[in-house]
């Protein structure tokens, strides 16, 4: 059975901080409803029993920020993918503090900022829901992805070096308006000076990252390289012979079944 609280119980606050991901739901007053999965270690924070915040990283959209500017409504959902089952929902009102504002720097000083971090989303909670989660499947956590941080760290390095389009250009192109045309970022893309962050996990790695989020070019390039390497070790004539044998065997089997039928 589900339970509701006016604030987060202590046992729930401890459980929240052990989860590896969470979901953010917002909606425009007369537009699209948006749900975004969030991850990466140390991005979600509990202030007290009625306040949480998370570090909002760069993305191809800006729905959450735009919706909060319009109406402030937000729900955070976390769910257990192991034992014991549990779903928690934090209903609240959200406030956006963009990169470049004093409020942002209060929560995220430069030496703790993740690459591509564009805002702080602060949520004042007015209701908490906890339910069973009996239908949620089991999943085993392996690791957080480094792709976003690698991409953002490279973009920030390019911008700091003055050698090409950086993360502020990306914010300006992708994050100024929502898909419904609502205002998104207003400050972050207009800031100046060096972008400072903790850097990519393990340092920048060469290759494997597309030029924009959602670009699988790096993955495709790796696949091509793998095929090229494979051809160096496999004789094409031998491969053709093996395939011919397989097709011949299948053909004989089909003929045999047809005759017996």
Determine the pLDDT at residue 170. 98
Domain residue ranges in the chain:
3-215, 229-260
Determine the pLDDT at residue 258. 42
If the chain, 261 residues long, is cut into consecutive pieces of 10 residues, what is the mean pLDDT of each piece? 93 96 98 97 97 98 99 98 95 99 98 98 99 94 95 97 96 98 98 95 56 45 48 56 58 46 45
Collect all residues with Cβ–Cβ distance below 8 Å to 154 and sequence separation of at least 6.
200, 204, 209
Determine the pLDDT at residue 211. 40
Please tell me the distance from the alpha carbon of residue 134 to that of residue 150, in angstroms, as a whole number: 36
Determine the pLDDT at residue 246. 53
Please tell me the distance from the alpha carbon of residue 152 to that of residue 170, in angstroms, as a whole number: 10
Fold of 3-215: Pnp Oxidase; Chain A (2.30.110)
Determine the pLDDT at residue 200. 86
Q: What is the dihedral of CA 119, 37, 61, 161, to 10 degrees?
A: 60
């Amino acid at each position: 059975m589900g339970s509701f609280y006016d604030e987060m119980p202590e046992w729930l606050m401890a459980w929240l901080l052990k989860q590896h991901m969470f979901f953010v739901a917002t909606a425009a007053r007369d537009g699209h409803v948006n749900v975004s999965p969030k991850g990466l270690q140390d991005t979600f924070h509990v202030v007290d029993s009625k306040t949480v915040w998370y570090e909002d990283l760069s993305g191809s959209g800006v729905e959450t920020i735009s919706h909060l500017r319009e109406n402030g409504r937000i729900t955070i959902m976390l769910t257990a993918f192991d034992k014991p089952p549990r779903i928690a929902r934090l209903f609240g009102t959200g406030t956006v503090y963009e990169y470049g504002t004093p409020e942002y720097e209060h929560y995220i000083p430069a030496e703790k900022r993740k690459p591509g971090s564009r805002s702080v989303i602060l949520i004042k909670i007015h209701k908490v829901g906890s339910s069973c989660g009996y239908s949620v499947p089991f999943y085993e956590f392996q690791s957080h992805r480094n792709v976003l941080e690698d991409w953002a760290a490279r973009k920030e390095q390019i911008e700091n070096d003055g050698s090409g389009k950086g993360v502020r250009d990306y914010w300006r192109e992708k994050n100024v308006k929502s898909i419904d045309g609502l205002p998104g970022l207003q400050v972050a893309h207009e800031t100046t000076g060096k972008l400072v962050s903790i850097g990519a996990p393990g340092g920048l790695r060469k290759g494997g990252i597309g030029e924009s989020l959602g670009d699988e070019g790096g993955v495709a390039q790796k696949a091509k390289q793998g095929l090229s390497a494979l051809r160096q070790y496999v004789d094409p004539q031998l491969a053709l012979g093996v395939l011919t044998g397989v097709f011949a065997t299948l053909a004989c089997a089909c003929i045999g079944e047809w005759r017996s039928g």
